[in-house]
Copies of this chain bind each other. A is one copy, B any other.
Amino acid sequence: MSQHDEMEIEAEPAPIGKHAPDELLTVGEMSRRTGVAPSALRFYEDLGLIASHRTGGNQRRYPRHMLRRVSLISVAKRLGIPLSDVQTAFENVPLDTTPSHEDWQAASRRWKRQLELRRLGIERLERELTGCIGCGCLSMKACRLLNPDDELGEQGSGPQRLPE
């Protein structure tokens, strides 16, 4: 395996001077840059979370803006956010064209809201636990943590999500 220096990745004839904004990335380059395995990238593409162009030889070529999507997906993964939620967050970010300023702004705000809700859920549980530590009991009666039949504890069975 050849370890290239961090040079400009130019799959196509390089425009003189600066990197092309239209530069396309192979699956391997995408993987190295995002830390997401090629197999996972293909998987995300099957799910429609990301998209690629194909060369004449049927190889994937990703537009640069796809880096953002992949990075956001991997961030979500680290926070335990399911891919279905990621899909929702991406709802109005175009796959086929470079998303506009506004597209990403809107997506950022959606992401932030999601994160905020998750954080609030955690903060609340922290408060409950602090109370439990304070009273030294984890009391079944007093502790909302252990009686979560409120907005946090939607249903009895099945996968559960934080409220949205």
- By a beta-carbon cutoff of 8 Å, the part of chain A in contact with chain B is 31-32, 35-37, 40, 64, 67-68, 71-72, 74-75, 77-81, 101, 104-105, 107-109, 111-112, 115-116, 118-119, 121-123, 125-126, 129-130, 132-133, 136-138, 140, 145-149, 152-153, 155-158, 160-162
Shortest beta-carbon contacts, A-B, top 3: A80-B80, A35-B156, A37-B157
Given the complex of chains A and B, what is the CA–CA distance between A104 and B149 in angstroms?
Answer: 22
How far is A22 from B113 in the complex, measured between Cα atoms in Å?
Answer: 44
Copies in the complex: 2
When distances are taken between beta carbons in the complex, the residues of chain B under 8 Å from A158 are 37
Given known A-B contacts A126-B119, A157-B37, A75 and B108 have beta carbons under 8 A apart: no
Find A155's partner among B35, B67, B105, B149 (CB 8 Å cutoff).
B35
Taking the closest CB of chain B, its distance from the CB of A153, in whole angstroms, is 6
In contact, A78 and B145 (Cβ under 8 angstroms)? no
A64 to B119 alpha-carbon distance, docked (Å): 31
Q: How far is the CA of A68 from the CA of B145 in the complex (A)?
A: 10
Can you list 6 A-B contacts (CB < 8 A)?
Answer: A35-B149, A37-B156, A74-B160, A79-B122, A112-B133, A115-B129
